[in-house]
Amino acid sequence: MISAGEFRNGVTFELDGQVMQVVEFQHVKPGKGAAFVRTKYKNVITGAVVETSFNPTAKFENAYVERRTMEYSYNDGNLYYFMNPETYELEPIDESVMPDSFKFVKENMECTVCSFKGKVFAVEPPNFVELEVAQTDPGFAGNTATNVTKPATLETGAEIKVPLFIGPGDRIRVDTRSGEYLERAK
């Protein structure tokens, strides 16, 4: 059990059967009246953010969110299979849990799988990935000084904007959180 007076940023707790994570907190002790804890927390599963005040003695159940590093193996229809590197067991995860940024993940890449009480609610791909450009229009000599971009299709099928000097077969680094080109891979 955790009391509202012990809230800190990142603390997870259960509220009405849902997993909540403290985003911001402030202990307030007004000159008149009882102290309270002004809290901004988000539902870890849905992402909804709520602001509420709690009595500092209010008790909540601790919520333990399990974060495991697993290797993406393959997908079959709407199921994506991840391998546990310690036991080599495959775990199927439904397509509805996958974020939009998963389009940058290819086989054998490690991802973080988040679960609560055995139920997977999120898959976090690596923040940066190196991928090969599968198809794009060729660049022209002299077009490197401007910030002009062109569409490119990566080996995973994802489409992003790249500078004009990037050609098919080039390896690039991509930020999966924003979906932006970072640099040419070395």
Q: Where are the domains of the chain?
A: 2-62, 65-124, 128-184
pLDDT of res. 82: 92
C-beta atoms surrounding 79 within 10 Å: 12
CB neighbours of residue 37 within 10 Å = 21
* CATH code, residues 65-124: 2.40.50.140
The CATH number of 2-62 is 2.30.30.30
Q: What is the pLDDT of residues 133-183, one digit of tens each?
A: 988 887 665 655 667 888 899 998 889 998 888 888 889 999 988 888 988
**pTM of the full structure:** 0.72
Tell me phi and psi for residue 96, to 5 degrees: -65, -20
Q: For residue 59, give the nearest of 28, 20, 116, 13 by alpha carbon.
A: 13
72, two tokens: 């993406």
pLDDT of residue 64: 85
Q: How many CB atoms lie within 10 A of CB 131?
A: 20
Q: Determine the topology of domain 128-184 in CATH.
A: OB fold (Dihydrolipoamide Acetyltransferase, E2P) (2.40.50)
SS3 95: helix
Q: How many CB atoms lie within 10 A of CB 168?
A: 13
Give all strands of the β-sheet with 36-43 in edge-to-edge order. 2-3, 59-62, 12-15, 18-28, 36-43, 49-54
- Residue 138: which residues within 8 A CB-CB, separation 6 or more? 167, 168
Identify the pLDDT of residue 67.
Answer: 87
Cα distance between residue 58 and residue 54, in whole Å: 7
Low-confidence ranges of the chain (pLDDT < 70): 139-146
| DSSP class of 143 | T
What 3-state class would DSSP assign to 55? coil
| pLDDT computed for residue 137 by the predictor | 83
Same fold, 65-124 and 128-184: yes
